[in-house]
Amino acid sequence: MSKQSGPLGILLVNLGTPDEPTPTAIRRYLREFLSDPRVVNIPRAAWLPILYAFILPFRPRKLVEKYAYIWSEEGAPIRTDTAALAGALGTRLANMQLGREVRVTPAMTYGNPSIADALDHFDREEIRDLMVIPLFPQYSAATTAAVYDKMAKVLARRAVVGDIRFVDEYCEQSDYIHALTKTLEDQAHHLDNGAKMIFSFHGIPKSQEAAGDPYPDRCRSTAETLAHNLGLADDQWLITFQSRFGPAPWLTPYTDETLASLPGKGTKRVVIACPGFATDCLETLHEIQVENREIFMEAGGEQFTYVPALGASDDHVELMTKLVLSRLYAAESGGPRF
């Protein structure tokens, strides 16, 4: 396929996780995560005193129980599922005999395994030809661009920078929509009168939308396409936004407030999916499956069904495989690079 015979390094990047469900590890993770201007775009002079005086001393302990709830013997699901996806993708590509060695490595924007460590490992192995796939289907400055920043920081200290291809998003990739449709079609076909399917995406502050971040439009387009492919009528589905943080207004409608209001409007059964999450994590396994389920049921709901993220499923591996191959073809035809 490729005219280049050297090894290709593929980096699958997810958001991140603490190393363990303890106050110390969570504090270390939050310090890195919430110190990033891409995540909290408040002037540093105003934000950092708040972070260090009011958030880091108290919030980690409040999160211990939640992280412990989702933790397995192998660790955090976001880390184990990303590693499993990377392993399966590496095996699939190796079996395709592309004419070059391909190595797939997982990394996290925040926490471990870090982007810096992964890139340094590739560098030690003299792997210069890289493809970076942030596992955020819909581009956002708060996620995808943060990966770009982390990479640029590492590359800035390199004497030699090779050929790097950066996948900024893949929400319009037909295989992404197809994979999600397959996971949801059974639930969609069994939606009875009054039941709704909810597509819940991670929110961002409205100030980021006003600054030109295309993320909200990408989410709405994904939800509309899924609803169309699933044959849902307009009154059978909703798009919502979750995980807001702080007092500033975020994208609406909010997932939790929507779920609290639905039973009073006659909707007692919901199916909820989170298409923007490539793997399950705290925001899906606890915020949605535990906290939001409780909100809905206490408001009078009768049935709450969460459809898991694609994770390391065969459909997700197939999606990633085709994404890699399409970008390799683009490279041969002179497509854009990092």
The CATH number of residue 188's host domain is: 3.40.50.1400
Q: Are residues 278 and 325 in the same domain?
A: no
Q: Extract the tokens encoding 186.
A: 């059974």
Does some domain include residue 127?
A: yes
Query: How many structural domains is the chain composed of?
Result: 2
Same domain, 15 and 156: yes
Residue 193 belongs to some domain of the structure: yes
pLDDT, tens digit only, all 338 positions of the chain: 445 568 999 999 999 999 999 999 999 999 999 999 999 989 999 999 999 999 999 999 999 999 999 999 999 999 999 999 999 999 999 999 888 899 999 999 999 999 999 999 999 999 999 999 999 999 999 999 999 999 999 999 988 888 999 999 999 999 999 999 999 999 999 898 889 999 999 999 999 999 999 999 999 999 999 999 999 999 999 999 999 998 899 999 999 999 999 999 999 999 999 999 999 999 999 999 999 999 999 999 999 999 999 999 999 999 999 999 999 877 665 554 54
**Rounded CA separation 32/40 (Å):** 11
Interatomic CA distance for residues 174 and 327, integer angstroms: 14
318 and 286 within one domain: no
Q: Which residues contact 238 (CB under 8 A, 6 or more apart)?
A: 196, 197, 198, 199, 253, 258
Rounded Cα gap, residues 313 and 199, in angstroms: 20
At 6, list the tokens. Answer: 């050297």
8 A C-beta contact, residue 247 and residue 254: no
Q: Say whether both 225 and 250 belong to one domain.
A: yes
Do 131 and 13 lie in a common domain? yes
In a domain, 51, yes or no: no
- In a domain, residue 200? The reply is yes
Q: Are 76 and 97 contained in the same domain?
A: yes
- Whether residue 276 is contained in a domain is answered as yes
Does residue 318 lie within any of the structural domains?
Answer: yes
Pair 146, 235 in one domain? no
Residues 266 and 193 placed together within one structural domain of the fold: yes
Residue 7 backbone class (left: φ over 0; alpha: ψ -120 to 50; beta: rest): beta
What span, in angstroms and rounded, lies between the C-alpha atoms of 82 and 281? 11
Instruction: Say if 338 falls within a structural domain.
Output: no
Residue 60 lies in a domain: no
Cα distance between residue 196 and residue 237, in whole Å: 5
| 143 and 251 both lie in a single domain | no
Query: DSSP for 257-318?
Result: HHHHHTGGGT--EEEEE-TT-SS--HIIIIIIIIIIHHHHHHTT--EEEEEPP-TT-HHHHH
Task: Give the amino acid at 244.
Answer: R
Do residue 104 and residue 130 come from a single domain? yes
Are 111 and 19 in contact, with CB atoms under 8 Å apart? yes
**Domain boundaries, position 150:** 8-20+71-169+314-332
Asked if 75 and 180 sit in the same domain, the reply is no
Residue with tokens 């408001």: 299
Find tokens 């994979």 and name the residue.
179
Whether residues 141 and 256 share a domain: the answer is: no
Determine the Cα–Cα distance for residues 162 and 9; give it in Å rounded to an integer: 11
